[in-house]
Amino acid sequence: MPSMCGTPINEHAGHHIAIDAFPTLFPTGKADIAAERDVKIEIKDWASHLMKLQGGQFARHPRFRYWVLNTMMRQAARKASNWYLHTHKEDRDLSVEEIHEMLESGDAIGLAERVSHAGAKLAGSKPFWQSAQKDLIAQIQAPDTGIPHVFLTCSSAHIQWPDMHQHMPNNDPDAAENATSYHTRMNDLNNNPAIAAYYFQKHWQIFFDEVIKPKFKIKDYWWQYEWQHRGSSHIHGFLWMENAPSVDALDRDNADSVAAFIHFWDQHVSTWHPDKDCPPAAIHPSAQMFNTLQDTKKELAEILNRLQRHTKCAPGYCEQKKKDTGEIFCWFGYPKKCRDHSELSRDAGREFVEFNTRRNDEILNSYNPAFILGWRVNIDFRPVINREAVIAYVAKYASKGETSSSSYQDTLQKEISRLQDSNAGGIAYQKMLSSFAAERDISSQEACHVLYELSLVKSSRLYQSIHVAPDESSENVNFDSSEKEQQGILE
C-alpha cells in the first residue's frame, strides 16, 4: 500500500501518482503512466487502453476517469501554452507586471483572446467550441455545400435499449426478455457510463451509415455529441441532401417555387397523426426486441403517442414568460394550429418563417416515419427554411461554449492575480488555459466519450487552419533599404 504524507507531490517529477492514488486498480504496483518503458506512450493512449481493459475496473471507477481526464487536459494546456510562447514572440517576454498594466488599461483583450485560441484542442472547452463554430460556419459558407437542408436532434434511450444492457456486467443471458428490472438497469447505467457512451456513438454511427445516409441521399453532414445535466448522450446536427431544394433558391413571392419546395418536404417531414386515439406503446419502443417489430401504422401511432407529443410544458424547459405582459407561453410554440395543407408561414409568437406541415394534432412534434421507426427514441427532424434559422442554431448550440473577448480577459485577470510580479507571463498563459479544463461540470458519459478518443464533433468535411501572419522564420533582406521584410504564407 502507498504511504501517506502531507507533502504535495510534483506530478511532473516522475512520481507514480496513479498507483499511489488508486492502489486497488494497480494491485501489483505496476503500469503507472510514469513507469519506465522501452517506448514512450502518451497519456491519452494509456488512458484509452485502461478504459478498454477487460474486466472494466478502470472504466467503472467513479474517480479514475475524472482524474485521468483532468490530468490529460492540464497536460494539453501546458503543451498549448508552450506552443503559444513559441509562435507569439511578442507576448513571450511579457512579465506578470506588464500584463497587470495591460489589464488595468484595457489593452489585454487581444492578448487574452490570442491565448485562448491556443486551447482549441482542449475537448469540450470554450476555445474548443469556438473553433467548432468557425468550422461549421466555414462548411456552410463553402460554395459546394451552402445552407444545410435538415436540422436534426436524436435523443438516447440508455435505460431501455436491451442490446446495450446485454453488455452490462449484471446481464443474465438466460433471463426472459424485458425481465431485467428498471432499478437494475438504472444501476447498471450509472455504474457503467463507459459502456453507455461507447454504445450510443456506435448505435448512432451505424444507424446513420445504414439508414439515414442512403434513405435521404446525404452528401454532407455535421453533428455534435452533447450531454445535459442528466448525463445522457444526444445528437444535434445538420444534413445536406443531394436532391433537396436550395434555401437560397427559394423565392417566397413565387408560387411555383414555394409549391415545389413544399412538395419535396411533404415527402420527408410530417405532423399528421395516423391515429391520435391509439394507446401509447405499453412497452417503451426502444425496449422492444428487434424480432417483435413489424413497422406497421399501428406501431408508428404507438411510438408517436409515447415519444413525439408535447404533452406538458415545464418551467425552465420550454415555459417562458413575456417581459412586457407577463404572459406564460411555450418556447416551442405548442399548441400549434391544425391545418389541412402545408405552408410556409410564421405563426404568432414565432421569430422565423417555418415550414408548417399539414397537421391534425396540435401537440405532435414533426417526424419522419422511417427515421422514428428505426431510431425509436424522441427525434427532431425538420427542414431549414432560412439563413437566420441556421445562424440562430450556431449561436445556441454549436457555439454554446463561446465566450466574449472580455470574458477571456476576466479569466486572465483571475489567474494572474495569484502570481507574483516577478513571474514570467508564460505561467499566466498556462494557468489560463488550464482553467478551461475545470470551469464546467462534465458528466461521466462525456468523460468516458473523450477518454475513448471519440470526437465531440463529426463532419463530412476536414478543416485546416492556415497561418497567414508574417513568418519570422522566412526573413528576407531588402538590399535597397537594408531592412528585413517578413513574408506571410499568402504572399
Q: What is the pLDDT of residues 128-175, one digit of tens each?
A: 888 888 888 889 888 888 899 999 999 999 999 999 998 998 777 776
Q: How many CA atoms lie within 13 A of 300 on its CB side?
A: 17
C-alpha 252/C-alpha 248 separation (Å) is: 11
Instruction: Based on the fold, state whether residues 178 and 57 are members of the same structural domain.
Output: yes
DSSP code string of 394-429: IIIIITTT---HHHHHHHHHHHHTTS-TTSBHHHHH
* Domain housing 81: 41-201+219-237+401-491
Instruction: Based on the fold, state whether residues 262 and 376 are members of the same structural domain.
Output: yes
DSSP code string of 328-354: EEETT-PSPPPBSS-EEE--TT-SS-E
Instruction: Based on the fold, state whether residues 472 and 377 are members of the same structural domain.
Output: no
Q: How many CB atoms lie within 10 A of CB 285?
A: 23
C-alpha 337/C-alpha 398 separation (Å) is: 30
pLDDT of residue 417: 73
In a domain, 242, yes or no: no
pLDDT of residue 177: 58
Mean pLDDT across the stretch 210-219? 96
E strand or H helix at 289, and its extent? none
In a domain, 430, yes or no: yes
User: Is residue 366 within 8 Å of residue 70, measured between CB atoms?
Assistant: no
DSSP 28: T
Bigger pLDDT: 264 vs 433: 264
pLDDT of residue 480: 41
pLDDT of residue 69: 93
pLDDT of residue 58: 95
Least confident of 251-255, 372-376, 398-402, 408-412: 398-402
pLDDT of residue 6: 80
Instruction: Based on the fold, state whether residues 428 and 375 are members of the same structural domain.
Output: no
In a domain, 315, yes or no: yes
Sorting pLDDT into bands at 50, 70 and 90, what band is 398?
low
pLDDT of residue 268: 96
Instruction: Based on the fold, state whether residues 45 and 162 are members of the same structural domain.
Output: yes
Mean pLDDT across the stretch 197-210? 96
According to DSSP, the residues that pair with 356 across neighbouring strands are 343
C-alpha 444/C-alpha 419 separation (Å) is: 33
DSSP 249: T
Please state whether 231 falls in left (phi above 0), alpha (psi between -120 and 50) or beta.
Answer: left
Instruction: Based on the fold, state whether residues 356 and 436 are members of the same structural domain.
Output: no
C-alpha 243/C-alpha 38 separation (Å) is: 55
Instruction: Based on the fold, state whether residues 90 and 28 are members of the same structural domain.
Output: no
Instruction: Based on the fold, state whether residues 82 and 194 are members of the same structural domain.
Output: yes
In a domain, 214, yes or no: no
C-alpha 386/C-alpha 351 separation (Å) is: 12
User: Is residue 125 within 8 Å of residue 119, measured between CB atoms?
Assistant: yes
Asked whether the predicted pLDDT for residue 203 surpasses 50, the reply is: yes
C-alpha 113/C-alpha 128 separation (Å) is: 13
pLDDT tens digit string along 471-484?
554 444 343 444 44
pLDDT of residue 183: 87
Asked whether the predicted pLDDT for residue 271 surpasses 50, the reply is: yes
Mean pLDDT across the stretch 456-463? 92
How high does pLDDT run on average in the chain? 84
C-alpha 217/C-alpha 242 separation (Å) is: 6
The type of residue at 82 is N
How many domains are there within the chain?
Answer: 3
Instruction: Based on the fold, state whether residues 323 and 357 are members of the same structural domain.
Output: yes
Mean pLDDT across the stretch 285-298? 90
Angle between helices 43-51 and 64-87 (to 10 degrees): 160
- Cβ neighbors of 470 (< 8 A, separation 6 or more) are 486, 487, 488
In a domain, 213, yes or no: no
Angle between helices 109-117 and 126-141 (to 10 degrees): 80
Sorting pLDDT into bands at 50, 70 and 90, what band is 14?
confident
In a domain, 5, yes or no: yes
pLDDT tens digit string along 103-135?
777 777 778 888 888 888 888 888 888 888 888
Instruction: Based on the fold, state whether residues 46 and 20 are members of the same structural domain.
Output: no
In a domain, 139, yes or no: yes
pLDDT of residue 169: 86
Q: How many CA atoms lie within 13 A of 398 on its CB side?
A: 25
Q: How many CB atoms lie within 10 A of CB 30?
A: 9
Instruction: Based on the fold, state whether residues 344 and 491 are members of the same structural domain.
Output: no
Nearest to 226 by CA among 9, 396, 409, 107: 396
% of residues, the chain, pLDDT over 70: 88
C-alpha 83/C-alpha 74 separation (Å) is: 14
* The model's pTM: 0.85
Sorting pLDDT into bands at 50, 70 and 90, what band is 403?
very low
Asked whether the predicted pLDDT for residue 391 surpasses 80, the reply is: no
Asked whether the predicted pLDDT for residue 421 surpasses 70, the reply is: no
pLDDT of residue 423: 63
pLDDT of residue 420: 66
Query: What is the torsion angle, in degrees rounded to the nearest 10, for the CA atoms of residue 182, residue 188, residue 190 and residue 192?
Result: -160
Instruction: Based on the fold, state whether residues 318 and 462 are members of the same structural domain.
Output: no
The type of residue at 37 is R
Mean pLDDT across the stretch 352-369? 92
Bigger pLDDT: 486 vs 179: 179
In a domain, 390, yes or no: no
pLDDT of residue 486: 43
Bigger pLDDT: 473 vs 450: 450
According to DSSP, the residues that pair with 150 across neighbouring strands are 239, 383
Bigger pLDDT: 275 vs 312: 275
Sorting pLDDT into bands at 50, 70 and 90, what band is 189?
very high
Sorting pLDDT into bands at 50, 70 and 90, what band is 396?
low
